[in-house]
Structure 1
Amino acid sequence: MNRLKKIIFFAILLIGGLCAMNAQEKTTTAGVPVVKLNNGVEMPRFGLGTFLQGSNEICKQSCLTALRAGYRHIDTAHAYYDEEGVGEAVKESGIPREEIWITSKLWPTEYGEGKTLKAIDEMLARLQTDYIDLLYVHQPVGDFVGAWKDMEKAVQMGKVRALGISNFDANDEVFNEIMEKSTIKPAVLQIECHPYAQRTEMRKKAAKYGIQVECWYPLGGAQSQGLLLRDSVITKIADNHGTSPAQIILRWHIQEGFSVIPGATKPDYIKENIQIFDFALSNDEMQQIRSLNKEQRIFNATLDDVKRMVWGTKL
């Protein structure tokens, strides 16, 4: 009888310890882990990317599908031409604004002290919101330092909660310049990142400043034509878990500590992508996926290519 009591006692201790461990990681109602950024603001680490949605109406429907499936983080940009769709979806969803994390990005033609604040107000109008949770400079081109000064003012005015840098992996010069000349340091760095390009050096640089890494093209994007989804290591792990390769890749991102924003327009894919919080990859499976790294980018434009694209785009 005493032995049985001891077994029960230790079982209770074990269960209590597991509960305490789980309680340490804050999550949304859908089980999405939340990260506290270097400015103290909390952000869901999983969201919907809205690049190439096609139109504001398509984007609105994608966002509504996502919000109903439990997403609470939506990533857009002025250059995506779908901010209005995001704003309409948030409004129509009936979910309190404070429960939804909205990210957007300024285009280089909007950069410049005295110019960017006006662009931010126009962005707020398109999104039909009083504030943006995370605002990026979209590309390291043009007067991004001047833009940052206005972005810092927007934070002080309560129009923006956190600031980020997108694609500042172009070279050390642009990354170092924003770090040296900013008063409010970037909270998030958004870059292409997936099992074939795990960006180890950029992650080290970001970690020095407590910057959260957020991944675009986590599944390789349409450009990759399903390259990652066909990988034999990933498909075998997916078979073992009874999941899709996409779910395995996204789960890997989450367990690596990334924030991740897979893009999708098809409702089934949007719903499938977030269904990654009821299983976990083993240490061995994580290591197998880490071994796939060859720093093979899908988007391989040079900074000069990006500059030509930027100045050739009119918003």
Structure 2
Amino acid sequence: MATKRALITGITGQDGSYLAELLLSKGYEVHGMVRRSSEEKFERIQHLHGKIQLHQGDLLDQFSLAALLNLTKPDEVYNLAAQSFVPTSWNQPVLTGEFTALGVTKMLEAIRHTRPEARFYQASSSEMFGKVLEVPQTEDTPFYPRSPYGVAKAYGHHITVNYRESFNLFAVSGILFNHESPRRGLEFVTRKVTYNVARIKLGLQEKLPMGNLDAKRDWGFAGDYVDAMWRMLQQPQAEDYVVATNETHTVRELVEIAFARVGLDWEKHVFIDPAFVRPAEVDLLIGDPAKAKTKLGWEPKVRFKELVEMMVDADLERVKAGQR
């Protein structure tokens, strides 16, 4: 059987790096799209050097996408690239819309004209549910996004459905709830907590400023979630799936577990800083992955406490080594 080829946008990110590892383990030829920049950050995929092929391209440049599809001829395309940090979407709403919404359309158009037989995965987000209209959230729960990022993701989701139904493309969306790992960026709350806990433990700082400690999220492990992405593209029919743990935890629990891992009392170090409170907060996100379990045979393996402790341990090693 011929080797399958996959193209991953956002390959330098958390999910992209785990997905590249997974596909390599399954014998794929893996191609990644990276944007040209003066400061190239490839630390998450450094250990894959020589095993994957990187190409320059940009979601805002449809011609570069078509050229890349022609060059790599992928069987599967995973669109993970986006402006993916919610607070930044308030400061840069137009840029967020261009990458996270219109970028999806440009990729779908490029696939439709260049590689229509390819199977397409779109990274949708639980932030589309926003001010939730039912608990837990399923594939049928209406969207009510509460940030420019959530709005842009909802557009990307609907345009993927539209191209599937209008042009008969094999195009699916994974509605992924929060998924974390030691490779998470420092701007995300989980990594912000675990990294700063490591610094406090090692005596490099005293305090940790936080926002809303009562916000609840459904947090899973990114390594588990990329497996669900792959499974979606192996199905006989293109459908959308919620990927979640069906468990909810508060930011306060995250903080408690992280400080407990290093033997510290969180209340002595954490204070609330209004600068970290969002203009419109999403208070409760919890996903029901029943469809993914039934149809994909997928379930999360890493539990919340284990995930937080894994991240704290990794950050302790990083900080000791003088890394971020």
Sort the TM-score into its range (normalised by shorter chain).
0.3 to 0.5
Higher Rg: 1
Q: TM-score, normalised by structure 1?
A: 0.33
